[in-house]
Structures are given as C-alpha cells and as structure tokens.
Chain A
Amino acid sequence: MTDQKINRREFLKLAGLGTAAAVIAAPKVGEVVGPAIRSVLRGSAHPGDSGGGNHRWLMVIDLARCDGCGACTDACSAMHMVPTGQEWIKVYKMQHVTLESSYFFPRPCMHCDNPPCVNVCPVDATYKRSDGLVLVDQDRCIGCRMCMAACPYSARYFNWAEPPHTDQELDQDYSVEMNMPHRKGVVEKCLFCPSLTKQGLLPACVSGCPMGTIFFGDENEDAVTNSLGETHRLSELLVEGAAERHLEELGTEPRVWYLPPRTMSAETQSEVNPAPHQG
C-alpha cells in the first residue's frame, strides 16, 4: 500500500512537473516548430503576393452619375480577361419598391473589413491583406463555394468548367494579384486591380467609366480620384455626399462607399433650410 502511495505521489509530482514544463516550453517550441511546419506544408504563402504596403485602398461610387452604360464591366473584363458569364463589377438596376425612383448600382467586390467570405474559407485561400484588399489564391482554393454562400453582395463567381483561354492569358505567370490564367473549379472576383495600383494607375473599372462615377484612393492619404481627374478629400466627400455603405446593417464594413443617387445630406440641407423647430 505504502509503495503504491509513494508511487502515486511521485507520479503526480512528475506529471505536474511535466505539465508545467510543457506549458512553459510549448510557446517556445511552437515558435520554432510552427513556422518550420508551415513552411514545409504551405511553401510560399500566396504566389505573387507583393504585400499591401502602407495603403488602405477604398472606392467611392457616386450613384447620381451612373447611367448604367456598363463601361466599367467591359473595362474590367478586358483587363482581367474575365471568363464569360462573370461580371466582377456588375451594374444592377435597383428599385426596392414601385414608388421609389430606380437607379443604377455598380457592385464591385466590397473588400469588407469584416469579410464573411474570409471568415468561412476553410483553407485560407481567400484572405484579407493589410492594404484592405480581399484576395483569392486560386492555387489553394478547393472550390467548396462556402465563400459564395457567405457573401451578401453576390460578388463571387465560380469557374464551373474550364474557362475559355487565349494565348495572351495563358502566357501570364499566375499571381494572386492578377488571377490569370483562369482556372477550373475555383472562385474568382474583383481584385481592386493591385497590379495597376502598384504602378500608380487607377483600377480598370475606375478609369473605364466615362462619367467619372467611381472614385478610387487611399484612406491613409485621405484622397480619391476618378477617371475625369477630379480629386476629392475623402473625408469631405463622404460627409458632404452623405455617403453610405451597402447593407451596412450586416456589419461587414465594406470598403466601398456609395453617394446616394441624389445629394441629400442632412448637413447641407440644414444650411439651406434650417429645421423649423430649431429656428
């Protein structure tokens, strides 16, 4: 009996020491082993990802200017050789109720700051970058389409079959910033054209819009520009234009702002027409 007791005590002591050692050592071991395992398993993180740099890209779309011509979609499709049937920036004609006036609503990927698609991706194929972009790694995507179910903006498309290719497209080296050549069985979407913004150019849809509807810029610089060369201070444009984000109530925190089809900011209106009860 005593032997057993001592044994048990010793065992508990050892077990306690072992546990303590493990708790202390685990993070250290993890620091060494974790990246090692990761580098073995994952190889390079995402092919062609040059990192976000010190930017916070965003878009402001002035709905009052959009005439629904679809030039943005065409410019995008040309630039990315988007497979037929997909519209990475899609122009919806919106009318919620019959008495409401209808308007055109260009919808790129919203590059949400709380992206539902990234949250549900099981393999880290779609991810959020420091410059605000949500990108898709078609080398890793398994095609489960959970992100498509999760996206409230229907911004994601799937290559249901092998997309039709051109030689020019096939010549490209695949990168997450270009998503070409296009692949079968994976998800694609609007990228905010990191390959162009790297060169100081506007995304294809922005420069392709004849009306100057779409403004693009860097939140850190507090400035946005459109195809007509108009540059605004972002913070002023958002306030004066009474900007809002689509489906704000879902908490996705999109990086695309919309100026309503009419300018009806509470601030500007109160200057013209002071509210009666205040006077």
Chain B
Amino acid sequence: MTEDEQRQAEEQRLAQAVEQSDIAISVRGIRNAFGDQVIHDGLDLDVRKGEILGVVGGSGTGKSVLMRAIIGLQTPNEGEIHVFGESMVGRLDDDALAIRKRWGVLFQGGALFSTLTVAENIEVPIREYYPNIGAQLRDEIAAYKIRMTGLPAEAGPKYPSELSGGMKKRAGLARALALDPDLLFLDEPTAGLDPIGAAAFDEQTRKLQETLGLTVFLITHDLDTLYSICDRVAVLADKKVIAVGTIDELLALDHPWIQEYFNGPRGRAATAAVSREKNKAAQTPPDGRQ
C-alpha cells in the first residue's frame, strides 16, 4: 500500500469509528465565565446516540449556557466540544456547517420569526440549505411537519402572534425538525404550558424520538417530563455535571441537592404519579381489555 492509500484507509477507519460509536455529543473540560462570574468550570458530559438526556439544575447553574456552548452560540473559554466526532468550538467551516445541519434547536420562547407565517418559518431552513427543493414539495414538507408536531391543520398561514404559547412551542419544534435532524435541542419545552399541554408535548417528543431515531438534549425544570420521557438525567451543580444516570441511579446518590430535588414535595408528587401509572398498567390485562 502506498502512503496515500494508507492515510485514506486510516481516515475511513476513523470516520467509521465515529459513525459507530454511540456518543453523539462529548463535552470535555468546558469553562464558561462572564467577567468574574464563572458558570462552568471543568464540565464533562456525554450524550449517547438515540437517548433523551434530561438536563436539570437550579436557576443560574448554566443549563442554557451549556446548550448555547454546544450549538456554537457561545464560545467557551476553555475545553473541547465534539458533536458526531467533529470538534465544534469556534469552527465556522463547511464541515462544521454540515454538522450544524444535523441538529435542530427549540428555544425557550419558540423564537419564531415574527414576520413570517408558521409554514414560512418551517420552510426557512429548507429554503436556506436546499434551494433545489421545489416550492410545491417544500409546501408539502411543511404540511406534514405541521401534522407531525400536532399543530392543527389551519395553523400554517397564521403568524406567531396569533398562536397560543403551546402552539408556538409546537411550531418551533416543527421548524427545528424541518431538516430531519439527528440531534434535537429542547430548552424548557414544557415551561409555561398547562399540565395537559405539557403532557401532550412530552408524548409528542417521545413519539418523534422513537420514529425518527432522534438524540434529544432536553433542558427542563419539569419533574413529570423527567420521569415520563428521559432515558438519563444529567444534574448540573457546583459548575459541573455532578451526576448522570437514570433517576433511580441518581436517587441512590447521596448529594443534598439531588435528594432535595427529587424528594421535595414536587418530586414526591411526580414519583407518586409514576407509580400510580405503573400500578394501573399492572392491573390492566396485557390485551388492554378490562
């Protein structure tokens, strides 16, 4: 083998290893500081492919800052961030752009473009990255994304100001899903929704994650969301991720904040709800008839 071939083979092997490895996002030794105020110091986190990772932490622990660092809206002072094996810190080149196309982000308030209709909002990423897709097909894609995120059929021509909070979130989700991303970032998706709307949104997220094989990075304060859809939960405190694991694994830990969080009055209520669900499921015969 010539040297060139050898190098090519090596590159291919590496690329394959990245494809096959089950880590979607790897964050190593991140330090974020605003002036004197240090938000993260030596933060490590891995997000596995195909999981829903819930990120929790008290107010001001930098959950949103961590998300902004991963998606490149905020350059960390130190540390490495790899998404699908590509280093992302401070990169603006085409390879990094290709990775950017593989994620969708739902911001806290939906962040819909207020001068565009819902359908136009969904079409923006398609129009921007894939101008080869014709107007007819683009409208059809927007149409099934609208249905897919559970928006009503007449939502397409409406402007964001005409939508309720829950519909804005769904429209934001539809836009995040426009390019069929592999990776979805959700920043407090159920904040400000009523419990029924929040449960429906959780259900939708779970269903989409299963159908599309998404990896979801989900920031939340909502204990019900954590219990009902998250595969693992990462806890941010003391400028680091202090623990990652299933809720049962976290409960076994002896950290005061984690105990307080999951065993406080709200945490107990959510646990009780989950066990009620389980009991109900156990009482119902497997064929669903009672």
Verify that A and B bind, or say they do not.
no
Which of B's residues lie within 8 Å of A, judged by CB? none
Which of A's residues lie within 8 Å of B, judged by CB? none
